Structure 1
Amino acid sequence: MKKNKTFFETCFWAGDSAENPFKAIDAFFAFAKLDYYKQILSEVVIYCYKPKVYKDDNPSDVFILYSVLKSFLRVCYCLQKKSKKRKVRASLRSETVFHLSSLTKEEYNNPFMVFQKAFELKSLEEFEMFLYQVLELSLSPYSIDSDSDLMTPYIYLIKMLDAAELLRERGVEKI
C-alpha cells in the first residue's frame, strides 16, 4: 500500500521544496517572524469587514501570504499525525512565559495538542477555504455580512502559529 504524502508547496516562497515538516517550519520562520504572521493575519481578517482593499498599493503581498499560510496549514496537518511518534522537549524557560501566547498551559506543555484540536474541529480543506475566503474578502472593496464563521479558524490558526514556534524553539524528539 502506498503512503499518501502531503506536499507542503514551500518551493513557491522558500525557494526549495521541504519534505520534512520540521524543516518546513524552520523555513516558515526563516521567511518571517511569528509577530509578522500574527499581525498580517489579523489585519487581513479586519479588512474583511471594511469597505477598503487591503494592501491596495501592492496586492501581490497578499498572494505571497496566501502561499505561505497554505503551506503552513499543510505542515500543521502533517504534524498532528506525528504527535503519537514524537514529543516536545521540556521548556528551558519559566512557566510564566506561556501567558504571552494564545495557548493554554496544557497546549504550552504539549503543542501537538493544538494541531489535534484544530483538525478535529475543521478539516484541512476547511482551513484552506477559510484562508482563501479571508484573503478574497480583504481584497474586495466591499464590506461583508457573511454567515460563515471566520473567527474560529482564525483563532486556531493563531494557536497553530504559537504552537509551531514552540516546536521550533524547543525541538522535537522521537518517542
Structure 2
Amino acid sequence: MKRRFRLSVLFILPCLALVGCSSTPTEEGPQRSAVHWPFPSDDRPLDFVTDPIDEYLLIFSRWEGTPYRLGGASEKGIDCSAFVQILHSELSSPVALPRTTRDQVLEGEKVSYKQRQAGDLVFFKTSRSVRHVGILIDKDHFIHASTSKGVTMTRLDNPYWRKRFWQIRRIS
C-alpha cells in the first residue's frame, strides 16, 4: 500500500493545488515515510519534511516533465548532471557536486548494487562515450533527466536501463 501511495502523490499534488480535491492512497511507487500527504492545511513551512526521500519527491514534483536539453540547467531545459547537481544543492547537501557526469562519477564512494539505497547516484553507459546519471529514491526507482521524457522517475530494473547500468556511488 505504501509503495503505490508514493507514486500517487507525484500526480495528486499538482491536482490538489488546482482543484482542491483529495484522493485515497494506492499501492505503487517508492516507500513513503510517516509524513502525511496531502500536506496539512495549517500552512506549515515545508521544513517539517524530514525524510530525505520526501524531499527528493518534493523537488522532483517541481521538475517533473521539464524537457531534456544538453547543457541546460533551468526549467526551460535541463540535462541529467545538472538535475543531479541542482537536486543536491536544493537539499542543502554539504557536498557540492561538480557539473558534469564525468566529474560526478569521481565523487563519493562506489557501492555494490546490493548495497544501494535512496540518495545514491546511479550511473549508466548509454553509448561508447556517453554517460548518464540519476538519483535513487529507493532501491527500485530513480529520478533523472531523460533525453526522451525529460525529468522523470524510472524503475531501475527497466530493461533499457538495466542493460546500461554502470555503477552506484554514495555521496557522504
* TM-score, normalised relative to structure 1: 0.26
Q: Relative contact order: is structure 1 or structure 2 higher (C-alpha 8 Å, sep ≥ 6)? A: 1
* TM-score, normalised relative to structure 2: 0.26
Q: Determine which structure has the larger helix proportion and give its number.
A: 1
Q: Determine which structure has the larger strand proportion and give its number.
A: 2
